[in-house]
Structure 1
Amino acid sequence: MAQNPHIGVVKALVLLPLVVVFLWTVAAKLWGRPVSPSQIRALVALLLAFYLAATAFLGLFWMSRMELPVFDWHYLMGYGLLLVALWHLWLEWPQLLRFFSRLREERHLKWFLLAAGGSGAVALSAVFGGLELFQLRREEPASLQAGSAAPTPVPPVFPTAVPHVVGPAGVSPGPSGFAKSEARQAVAYMARESSASLGGLVRRGLFFGPKVASLRNVGGKTLIPLPPPLVQVGTGLPGALGWLSRPSAPRCGACPLAELATLLFAANGVTEVRRLGGETVYLRAAPSAGALYPVEVYLVNVGAGELAPGVYVYVPQEHGLLPVAGAYDARAWARALGFSEGAVVSGPVVVFTTVFQRTVWKYGSRSYRYVVLDAGHAVANFWLVASALSWPVEVTPFFADPEVEALVGLSPDEEGVVAVGVFGRLPGEPRLLPAFSEVRVTGDWEREELTRLSHRLTRWQWTEGEPWVWQPRWVATAASGHGPDLLQLIKNRRSYRRFSPQPLSSGQLATLLSRLEPMAALVPGGTGVEVRAVVVRDEALSPGVYRWWPGEGGLQLVKSGSFGRALYRAGFSQELLERAAAAVVFSLDEQTLASTFGRRGFRVGLLATGMLGEVVYLAAGEVGLRACGVGAFADNELSALLELPEGTSPVYLVALGKE
């Protein structure tokens, strides 16, 4: 991936004051009027004040408001401050030498050094004590340790025995006995290592490789232009969710290119272009942590319609397709997706991937949460718009990773598959799936970058064994209401941070949460995601922490009280959380997910959370609210605020308020 094309301009502007001062001093000397030492000291003092003020301003005003594209300015100003500080130290070095010489003559030097050393020891003790307080090291599960290489994938095998069923009261297809215990430990390990704590930060490091661009470089390559996306899809969010719950009159045949273009646009299209901090930012239809957009969307076409068979990647900034593979093997795709022997995939396939380094360079060990959540946002938009257009599409996180990676042509160390959408299959249909096994991680995994390690830990391949059935939990009642057009909601969605002090109107939060039920019931892993709400200001609800239960359960008060400040502190004092009238918080039930899906449960749960989070975004727009997703918070503090039981980890929250 290419570097940010504007970073050179930013670096030049940051260094400009230093260059101007240097050139001025050189020119003055050449003119015979050299700058005096006192003038140089005054200039250095002014430069120190400038860089210090600029760094503080960026941190306090821009970064605290999460205007994230100015991050380049922030850290480069910090480098400028360091350079000027070193210059200042060099200028004042004679004074420092005289100071230490005077201390030595007065026999105070040893006391000075003892005081400085003691202060340093106290600081180090505080740091390492904090490591123990924030996060104690635990035994890593045996399943994470180096082992033999992964076995060769085998075709799915479907014996005649009655398969296991995953459902409200079904039997898990996941590991059993000791293997189940290992899977739970592995999921807990990934949740713990990616939590925001001082211990994880120090152990995993502060630098995570080079920054890469959020857009694919297609310079000089031939793109296939797509028709403009539709203006409207003719139904609102309730209608799309209702169709997901109870599909009626599904369409068949080849999907028109204009509608395929609309689906790709809804998943990853550019909805606005802004200039922020000297950088051009292509804002997308689906939200992304830090506006880094790690998600790529591939279209696998069978040859029906106006496109030739092959694999294409969607290029958002051009709203076009770039061919990446010219062959299409229907049987190979059927095997990779776990269809029964002899089956073929006869409709288009849409593959959602994440490019790890786009997020890792900035967010480090937290990144796997973010990249999968971002994929969930895009998948939800795609699925909802397909439903609004009455296209039967199954979105699944169940596939053999090595086979799909090979069919799309991915490098698994750089880009991972997260979900696959298959046309021609109703979203509520039960699906027979083969037994799976997990690829063991080999080598020194402790030193491996956590995002790539987490994706490797959650990779599946089909193997011999008893098959199982994925049976979605049907929703008794479909979503009701009309509201704005769904595609308009997607186009107009923005992460809003400057909430007003107004309370939520009566019924807004209840309506918003009711939109979650159809998606939570249908998406794999939805039953392993717990939903809570922190209510700060609401006309109908008293302030407090609530647990949301699907169905007739609704909102149940967990504890009453005003917790706005506690939410603000748990969220690293982000101003938007102080302003929010409420927040919807998603947590993963690690035991449920690991028991059902093994180590992959962590990935499946994050994907489901991202999809539910996108529904919250869209439902907020439907009821007249603003929303902003937040993934940066102190996990322990937020868990304590919500009174989460052990084995339940907060992974995402969406702040809500009025404009």
Structure 2
Amino acid sequence: MSDDSGAVLDYHQRTKHQLNGYAKGPASLDWDDQPSPFRRFDGCETVALPQPGAELDCRYADLDRPETIPAQPLTLTNVGLLLELSFGLSAWKQFGPDRWALRCNPSSGNLHPTEAYLLCTDPGLLAAGVYHYVSHDHHLERRCRFDAADLPAGLYVGLSSIHWREAWKYGERAFRYCQHDIGHALAALSYAAAGLGWRVELLSEAGDAEIGAWLGLDRAADFVADERETPDLFCRIDTGASAEGEFSGPALSQALQSGEWFGSAKRLSGRHFYRWPIIDQVTEHTLKPLTPVERLTLPALELAPPSRNPAASRLIRQRRSAQHFNGKSAPLPLADFYRILTALLASAKPPFTAWNWPAQVHIVLFVHRVDGIEPGLYFLPRSAEAADRIRPACATDYVWQRVEAPFELYRLQAGNVRQAAKTLSCHQPIASDSAFSLGMLAGFADNVAAEAWRYRRLFWECGLLGQILYLEAEAAGVRGTGIGCFFDDAVHGVLGLQDQTWQSLYHFTIGEPLEDNRLQTLPAYAHLTQSASPAPENG
């Protein structure tokens, strides 16, 4: 095992929540200095995007068969819609004098560490350059212009993370949550692209150094030191139009060498009272190098129609994180439950069309109230032979009874597991008052030992699955919530797992939400047509 892999395993163990204590975080929150959720650059030309709020021509169920959705033309209007439905605002919430924005891509604590960049080499769309997307203003900031005459016309999206935004609240564990959010964002981009008849091709062979140079993230002088962005993913947007040539990372790097860069990042916080050097260390240990090109051939998978089938853009915009559930609601219909679980299995539909690796994450289910399913603990393998591999590592008293379902599903133990779900998820009632909750169990130690950067990839996969669960819950007429706070080793103890071969990396819960009528909901972009925009509150 490499030194990097060993350090990553140590970081993961160090940042576990335990029943007798939580991972290291701030002793108190400096609410007056909460990082701004909106990154902006000074000294950049801005490029207006057409007014947000347009609708896609397809319904949510159409995304199950993306090949049937006609490709829309590559226009600035459609690019704006792509960015809005991936990273833009979905609403504002207000309680008394406090106002905060919600977005189409979810985020741990609504802190939004993920930033999105557009890189364009298509002169028919935009002048060749690197552009930063500002979700609050729904416009682009031109960070770089360069000569793309020798490059094929194309459109690319890059994603990065500002670890400080999460660390302000979550301390050392924040690095994990930033990786979740990258997975959420990639899935959100994939769904939005599919609604336009486009496809996201994840250029996962690119290394962090290359992505950082392409997006200008390696320009240290342009950023406040404690608020630097780290590169994560780089994607090509396939709009269905014939390309002039294949993407070449070296050619893009060569073209950018003579590029002219503009602007510097505005400060997000006035001070940084707490410091978490372990995050910088694990960032270094998980740097991704250039890797071989990997693409998956995905099977077709028939999904039953969702019980609700609004316009895809409407469902994407209505996605919310439930804060409370009705613990006495009617059971979730079996058809909805099976549809949600089927959607987690890799197939030739978004967001898996933007994912390049075999499934490494499997699902442990705490079933509370699902029609036709006995309450208890269940296991959903997401790849062939996963059940056979994990079964010997689990507690010997589990029955592993195959459930009659449209996919492979096992009952481990029947009975009321509500209290267990609540306790394991940091005593949060959202894990027990729902119809069901779950933990995402990853093949862990072997992946990290093989390549330390896969640590991030495992969390990306969890976030990808989380975005599926969010949208599928909405399509079932219920609501979901990601749970980053859980007692890691207590979860493993319940399952009988003894080492780091398997690790639970993310929890999720789905049920009937209880709405807080004290909160006022305001339109996402009304401020763009008003003389004074609402102050971008933190949170």
Partner of 2:338: 510
Kindly indicate whether residue 56 of structure 2 is the aligned counterpart of residue 233 of structure 1.
yes
Correspondence 1:407 to 2:214: yes
Is 1:486 aligned to residue 339 of structure 2?
A: no
Structure 1 residue aligned with 2:524:
none
In structure 1, what is the Cα distance between the partners aligned to 2:166 and 2:172?
Answer: 10
Instruction: Write the distance in 2 (CA, Å) between the matches of 1:380 and 1:398.
Output: 18
**Number of the residue aligned with 1:632:** 485
Post-superposition shift, 1:484? 2.2
Q: State the distance in 2 between where 1:475 and 1:592 align.
A: 26
* CA deviation map 1:388-437 (0-9, x unaligned): 222132024431211221221115772112211202389xxxx9999xxx
Once residues 495 and 205 of structure 1 are traced to their aligned partners in structure 2, the CA distance between those partners, rounded to angstroms, is 24
- The runs of 5 or more residues in structure 1 that have no matched partner are 1-140, 145-182, 332-343, 435-446
Q: Is 1:266 aligned with 2:98?
A: no
CA deviation string 1:130-176 (max 9, x = no partner): xxxxxxxxxxx7514xxxxxxxxxxxxxxxxxxxxxxxxxxxxxxxx
Query: Residue 477 of structure 1: SS of its match in structure 2?
Result: coil
- Measured in 1, the distance between the counterparts of 2:40 and 2:14 equals 33
In 1, are the aligned partners of 2:202 and 2:356 still within 8 Å (CA)?
no
Q: Deviations over 1:521-541 (max 9, x none)?
A: 862345111122110111111
Partner amino acid, structure 2, of 1:311 = V
Residue type at the aligned position of 1:530: H
**Corresponding residue for 1:130?**
none
Distance in 2, Cα, partners of 1:559 & 1:398: 42
Per-residue CA shift, 1:201-232, capped at 9, x if unaligned? 67787589974211124578652221134533
Could you tell me which residue of structure 1 aligns to residue 422 of structure 2? Answer: 568
CA apart distance, 1:480: 4.7
- Aligned partner of 2:363 among 531, 539, 542: 531
The equivalences for 1:582-597 within 5 A come to: 582-594=436-448
Query: Would you say 1:321 and 2:149 are equivalent positions?
Result: no
The root-mean-square deviation of aligned C-alpha atoms, in Å, is: 3.2
Describe the shift of the 1:522–1:408 C-alpha distance in structure 2 as closer, same or farther (beyond 3 A).
closer
Letter paired with 1:256? T
* AA aligned opposite 1:576: I
Report the residue type matching 2:415 in the other structure: G
- More divergent stretch after superposition (637-646 vs 390-399): 637-646
Q: Compared with structure 1, are the counterparts of its residues 299 and 325 closer, same or farther at alpha carbon in structure 2 (3 Å cutoff)?
A: same
Q: Match for 2:370: what amino acid? A: D
Structure 2 CA distance for aligned equivalents of residues 557 and 228 of structure 1: 50
Paired AA for residue 417 in structure 1 = P
* Alpha-carbon distance in 2 for matches of 1:498, 1:364: 25
Task: Report the alpha carbon displacement of residue 351 of structure 1 after superposing the two structures with TM.
Answer: 0.4
Q: Distance in 2 between matches of 1:217 and 1:491?
A: 23
Check if 1:284 corresponds to 2:98: no
Q: Distance in 1 between matches of 2:431 and 2:305?
A: 30
Q: Which residue of 2 aligns with 1:460?
A: 288
| Equivalences for residues 490-501 of structure 1 within 5 A | 490-500=316-326, 501=328
After superposition, the C-alpha distances for 1:358-398 in whole angstroms (9 at most, x for unaligned) are: 11111011111111111211211111121222213202443
Is 2:462 aligned against 1:619?
A: no
Report deviation, 1:577. 2.2
Determine helix, strand or coil for the equivalent of 1:271.
strand
Residue 223 (structure 1) aligned to one of 38, 43, 46:
46
Deviations 1:29-81 (A, max 9, x none): xxxxxxxxxxxxxxxxxxxxxxxxxxxxxxxxxxxxxxxxxxxxxxxxxxxxx
Q: Which of 74, 84, 92 is the aligned partner of 1:255?
A: 74
State the partner residue of 1:378. Answer: 185
Asked if residue 347 in structure 1 is aligned to residue 149 in structure 2, the reply is no
Instruction: Give the 3-state SS of the residue equivalent to 2:130 in structure 1.
Output: strand
The count of corresponding residues between Structure 1 and Structure 2 is 443
The amino acid that maps onto 1:652 is Y
Provide the secondary structure at the position in 2 that maps to 1:652. strand
Q: Whole-Å Cα distance in 2 between the matches of residues 236 and 645 of structure 1? A: 45
Match of 2:174 in 1: 367
SS of corresponding position for 1:460: coil
The 2-side partners of 1:328 and 1:587 are apart by 46
- Unaligned 5+ runs, structure 2: 241-245, 250-274, 384-405, 514-539
**1:189 to partner: Cα distance:** 2.7
Kept in 1, the 8 Å contact 2:128–2:148? The answer is no
Higher relative contact order structure (alpha carbons within 8 Å, sequence separation ≥ 6) = 2
TM-score scaled by length of structure 1 = 0.61
The residue number in structure 1 matching 2:234 is 420
SS at match of 1:417: strand
How far off its partner does 1:248 sit?
Answer: 6.2
1:655 pairs, out of 494, 509, 514, with 509
Write out per-residue CA displacement over residues 6-46 of structure 1, whole angstroms, 9 at most, x where no aligned residue: xxxxxxxxxxxxxxxxxxxxxxxxxxxxxxxxxxxxxxxxx
| Distance of 1:634 and 1:296 partners within structure 2 | 29
* Maintained 8 Å contact 1:251/1:392: no
The reply on whether 1:599 has 2:452 as its aligned counterpart is: yes
Q: Among residues 291, 299, 314, which one is paired with 1:475 in the alignment? A: 299
Aligned equivalent of 1:22: none
Alignment of 1:171-182 (within 5 A): none
- Sequence identity, in percent? 24
Give the alignment's TM-score, normalised by structure 2: 0.74
Q: Which has the larger radius of gyration?
A: 1
Question: Which of 545-554 and 531-540 deviates more?
Answer: 545-554
CA spacing shift, 1:524–1:330, aligned 2, 3 Å: farther
Asked if structure 2 preserves the Cα contact closer than 8 Å seen for 1:433 and 1:468, the reply is no
Instruction: Report the Cα distance in structure 1 between the residues aligned to 2:57 and 2:496, rounded to whole angstroms.
Output: 42
2:478 maps to amino acid: L
Contact persistence 1:627–1:657 (CA under 8 A)? yes
Paired AA for residue 75 in structure 2: P
Opposite residue 490 of structure 1, the aligned amino acid is I
Find the aligned partners of 2:20 and 2:212 in 1 and give their Cα distance. 34
User: What is the SS of the residue equivalent to 1:599?
Assistant: coil
1:195 alignment partner in structure 2 = 16
Deviation at 1:490, TM superposition (A): 1.1
1:632 CA drift (Å): 0.7
The letter of the residue matching 1:422 is R
For 1:638, the aligned partner's letter is V
